[in-house]
Amino acid sequence: MNYRFTNRTGGASTGAFASANLGFHVGDEPDHVTANRARLSKEFGPVAFMTQVHGDRVAVVEDVSDVDPTADALVTGIPGITLAVQVADCIPLLLISSQSVAAVHVGRKGLVNGVTLRALEVMRDMGASDIRAVLGPAICGVCYEVSEEIFKEVTALHPAAASRSAQGNHALDLPAALVKVLQGQKIAVEIAGECTVESSELFSYRRDGVTGRQAGLVWL
């Protein structure tokens, strides 16, 4: 198996970020984040992170540098490089083939702007075939309550996202919608992981507000 999803346990961070926070941008002590990322590098070798902005830019990684590219998807065809996508409710999507792999950040905006399709296009341009997808822990369709306006905006493009909260209010099931997108591309899909809001072992922005980030990791 050439992928892994981390959780919030087993790191150096404390308080709201306890304990394996991997995000520098959330207010945690930088030394703690550095230590947590170093633990990953010790286990998986060089790990490429990105500065995620809910956009649709795909960055091709040829080496791991100290400066994280601004993107919402990373692709590499080079063995020995591990790609990371940080999340705290959004979907950590990992795309895997024999020729290349991708780590994709798919939240509500990423679903709407088609970042997944852009990542698949880059992989295919690099010669990838027989791509499979793994969806990691993310907020579920019952927990992701949204306004009627946002509900209509997303479901107009992705009807499979339509859901209801436990109280019967408008909600979005992003994993269900993403599965439909992937199936439309003839991609085999595996769901791996719990709802981030419902699991105390996972960071959740919707549940906690101030919190850390776990990651999906993939490599050739």
Average pLDDT, rounded, for the chain: 97
Q: Judge whether residue 1 has pLDDT over 90.
A: no
Output the domain CATH number for residue 187.
3.60.140.10
E runs forming strands in the chain: 3-5, 47-48, 58-60, 73-76, 82-87, 91-96, 101-106, 132-135, 162-164, 170-172, 188-191, 214-219
The predicted-structure confidence for 90-129, as pLDDT tens digits, reads as follows: 999 999 999 999 999 999 999 999 999 999 999 999 999 9
Domain span including residue 91: 3-219
**Domain count of the fold of the chain:** 1
* pLDDT tens readout for residues 172-199: 999 999 999 999 999 999 999 899 999 9
What whole-number distance in Å separates Cα of residue 172 and Cα of residue 96? 26
